[in-house]
Amino acid sequence: MFFAGLFAMYFTLRSTSGDLWAEETAKLNFPFALVNTIVLVASSFTCQMGVFAAERLEPRRRGGVFQFTRWGMNEWFILTFLMGGFFVAGQTTEYAMLVSEHVSLSSNAYGSAFYITTGFHGLHVIGGLIAFLFIIGRAFAAKKFGHFEATSAIVTSYYWHFVDVVWIGLFLVIYVLK
């Protein structure tokens, strides 16, 4: 519901400030945002591979580092964490680029809508990254990796997939439907 409210805010401001929206969205770096989006969406696949390993009760790899088919939950979740970190770093870089173009939270309605919607999403991504650290830590601390640990990994993946789906919606609204 929270993100639905953010979408409503974005569309309302956009409908009342058409010329401003056209001017400000021209400053967005679509190729950069697309690469960042692809990395985040790909992280859902690595996350799901970690879930499959957790469901098999395999917290760690059973082969070499480059034998991806033998990776455990931890390896897949660490890769997911790195991809999520890449996304957050990309968002931070994009914020710096936009600020240099004089688009800030307080510059105008567009800046407010852009930073509030993407910023709250970014905070949710950071929350997911922290959850991955807890799940990985729990897997290392567990004497025996069991269904409790696997269930925690699955629940974390639900959250991560949700955050990714919300970003796809934000990406389409902000970068594609200029």
Give pLDDT, residue 67.
84
Question: Which amino acid, 178?
Answer: K
User: Where does 2-56+68-176 sit in CATH, by number?
Assistant: 1.20.120.80
Spell out the domain ranges in the chain: 2-56+68-176
DSSP-derived secondary structure for 76-121: HHHHHHHHHHHHHHHHHHHHHHHHHTT--TTT-HHHHHHHHHHHHH
* Residue 120: predicted pLDDT: 95
Provide the pLDDT for residue 11: 87
pTM of the complete model beyond 0.85: yes
CA 89 – CA 62 distance, rounded (Å): 31
The angle, 0 to 180 degrees and rounded to 10, between the axes of the packed helices 109-141 and 73-100 is 160
Q: Which pLDDT score is estimated for 93?
A: 97
pLDDT (0 to 100) of residue 3 = 83
Mean pLDDT for back-to-back runs of 10 residues, the chain (178 residues): 86 86 92 98 98 94 82 96 98 96 91 93 98 96 91 97 96 90
